Structure 1
Amino acid sequence: MSMEYRLRRTLPSNRVAIIMPVDHGLIFDRIEGLETPSAPFAAWGESDVTGFMMTPGQVRQTARYFAAHPHLTRVLTIDTYYDYRNLDGGGSHGLITNVEEAVRMGVDAVKMLFPWNMSRAEQVAMCTRVGQVVNECNRWEIPLVLEPVIIGAPRTEEVIKQEEKVARIAYDLGAHVIKIAFPGEERTKRLVDELKVPLVIAGGPLTGTPADTIDAVAQTIRSGARGVIVGRNIWQRERAEGLQVLSEVAKLTRAQKFND
């Protein structure tokens, strides 16, 4: 399979992708809504999502389900980070699997965190690690989704500016797709225009009303982003409310086409 094939499965040209992340167990404690890690796929896979962001354990346990639902894409998280609550550079990042194993499992893309609130030495090691993964992804023809983040930090203006800068570093390291927390419509559009690399926007923790989530997605789509990564703002709501949010989000994503 080629890089282009996998990238187009992950980010289709006939709509904005809705990728539901359910890989939180790699970082968080036991989290509400993911008590049974394999449950979200059957619960949400028929609700107009285009794919899921998953852990190696989830990929292995759900192979039969995805074989029966080949339209759904799988983005494999290949790393972890501890302790995400430490804002003073005390966290530790590492890989939990490799690109060759991801290809063997048949996933469509791999995903890594790119945390930047680390010591200078850890930042250099992080860039080295990402560079090695990019090289392996190019060798195996599978896209890397790289997530610049000031991990665990509140969404202050300074943090948003820092994540914009780290997104540029992600581009320079060769990321095929960049995943970033929503920095606002204007900033997102500028990143899309300047970097010219597919951008996907993370929804983050459950916050606000359903209308707030839908409005943020609408702004994301207007800015030219190729995908929305929406998890807790759907599956941590009451089931009926979550389905309604997802239905409205899907309408917005289906209204956008791309000339690839």
Structure 2
Amino acid sequence: MEKTRRMSRIFAKDGKSITLALDGYYFSTKTKGIDETISQLPGLIGNGLDAVLVTYGMAKRYAEEFSDIGMLVRADLSTSVFDPSVPYTTGIVTVEEALKLGADGIISMTFPGASNEVSSHRIAFDLARQADHWNLPFMCETLPYGYAVTSEASNRPDVIASGARLGAELGADIIKTRFSGNKEDEEIVRLANRPVLALGGPKTGHILDYFTFVRHCMDVGAKGVAVGRNITQDENPAGVVAALDVLVHQNGTAQEAYEAYQSGHVTA
């Protein structure tokens, strides 16, 4: 299958994507809400979900449920799942294994500026080469200094932009990275020169705050979002997806998204 056809399983016809990240157990044993959210997947797809980002085991367990949606398989996992503050991963899934699961793309992380950055870049580069051989899209998740924002530098738009460009130079077809919330985030998209998905980040205090942030990301040029906890740990996952559809695919406002959230509830 051509890479462009697989990309069309991840991105909608408008070139944008709402991707649900369900790979949390690779990074923390305290992950919540994933299985419950998967039970609502038909409703999420109906509300505008484009793709899922999953673990190897999840792709096996929920093969039928994921058959009607784009699927990216996570190729790396944390070396310390009991301490998610440690920015180290190891590669465990090959491109061939992902393809056997029916993957439309594969993903790994890099940690520019972290003490282990070289090993993370090597994992990403090796995956990019394998993925090119099989025409499989490769998404590189670039996280300066570590998983979370732990310093001023790790959340500076110029630093994030440099990390995004590094992911592109390692061979990524898609970049997933954080956005700072500042207008200078435009530089992230410009320098990456690839479709950029804004990662979801930690669960926000009020969902309207998250919708406001997503509106900002889209305004500075993001091609969508790859979000986990702000969907899986919300009491209304289907409503969040309906709201993201307003923001990502309909170019709506944060307030319009919130109204969609309130009316978009779907029961399992």
TM-score (norm 2): 0.83
Of 216, 220, 240 in structure 1, the residue corresponding to residue 217 of structure 2 is 220
> Could you tell me which residue of structure 2 aligns to residue 237 of structure 1?
234
> Could you tell me which residue of structure 2 aligns to residue 114 of structure 1?
110
CA-CA distance at 1:34 after TM superposition: 2.7
Any conservation in 2 of the 1:53–1:75 contact (CA below 8 Å)?
yes
Of 170, 191, 195 in structure 2, the residue corresponding to residue 194 of structure 1 is 191
1:77 aligns with 2:67: no
> Could you tell me which residue of structure 1 aligns to residue 137 of structure 2?
143
Q: 1:230 to 1:43 in 2, by over 3 A?
A: same
1:28 aligns with 2:23: no
CA-CA distance at 1:42 after TM superposition: 4.8
> Could you tell me which residue of structure 1 aligns to residue 255 of structure 2?
none
Of 106, 119, 127 in structure 2, the residue corresponding to residue 125 of structure 1 is 119
Any conservation in 2 of the 1:116–1:123 contact (CA below 8 Å)?
yes
Q: 1:153 to 1:235 in 2, by over 3 A?
A: closer
One-letter amino acid of the counterpart of residue 188, structure 2: L
SS of the counterpart of 2:180?
coil
One-letter amino acid of the counterpart of residue 192, structure 1: V
Any conservation in 2 of the 1:74–1:108 contact (CA below 8 Å)?
yes
> Could you tell me which residue of structure 2 aligns to residue 19 of structure 1?
19
Q: How far apart in 2 are the matches of 1:58 and 1:194?
A: 33
- Partner deviation per Cα, 1:65-104 (whole Å, 9 max, x = no partner): 233x2xx1111101112237476xx653211210111122
SS of the counterpart of 1:145?
strand
Any conservation in 2 of the 1:131–1:173 contact (CA below 8 Å)?
yes
Q: 1:171 to 1:212 in 2, by over 3 A?
A: same
CA-CA distance at 1:50 after TM superposition: 0.8
CA-CA distance at 1:214 after TM superposition: 0.9
Q: How far apart in 1 are the matches of 2:37 and 2:231?
A: 16
Any conservation in 2 of the 1:37–1:58 contact (CA below 8 Å)?
no
Of 153, 159, 162 in structure 2, the residue corresponding to residue 158 of structure 1 is 153
One-letter amino acid of the counterpart of residue 201, structure 2: G
1:95 aligns with 2:83: no
SS of the counterpart of 2:243?
helix
> Could you tell me which residue of structure 2 aligns to residue 44 of structure 1?
44
SS of the counterpart of 1:63?
coil
SS of the counterpart of 2:77?
strand
- Partner deviation per Cα, 1:153-186 (whole Å, 9 max, x = no partner): 4354311233332222112111111100122252
> Could you tell me which residue of structure 2 aligns to residue 60 of structure 1?
60
Q: 1:43 to 1:33 in 2, by over 3 A?
A: farther
Deviates more, 1:148-157 or 1:101-110: 148-157
- Partner deviation per Cα, 1:22-44 (whole Å, 9 max, x = no partner): 11011111322136685463563
Any conservation in 1 of the 2:160–2:188 contact (CA below 8 Å)?
no
One-letter amino acid of the counterpart of residue 108, structure 2: M
Q: 1:123 to 1:245 in 2, by over 3 A?
A: closer
Figure out how many residues of one structure are paired with residues of the other and give that number.
Answer: 247
Any conservation in 2 of the 1:10–1:17 contact (CA below 8 Å)?
yes
Between the two proteins, what is the percent identity of the paired residues? 23
SS of the counterpart of 1:174?
coil
Any conservation in 1 of the 2:112–2:163 contact (CA below 8 Å)?
yes
> Gaps (5+ residues) in structure 1?
none
One-letter amino acid of the counterpart of residue 139, structure 1: H
Any conservation in 1 of the 2:7–2:104 contact (CA below 8 Å)?
yes
CA-CA distance at 1:6 after TM superposition: 1.1
SS of the counterpart of 1:197?
coil
Q: 1:154 to 1:124 in 2, by over 3 A?
A: closer
Q: How far apart in 1 are the matches of 2:193 and 2:113?
A: 25
- Partner deviation per Cα, 1:191-239 (whole Å, 9 max, x = no partner): 2223321101001121131111111111111112112112211221223
Higher relative contact order (CA 8 A, sep 6+): 1
Any conservation in 1 of the 2:165–2:191 contact (CA below 8 Å)?
no
SS of the counterpart of 2:93?
coil
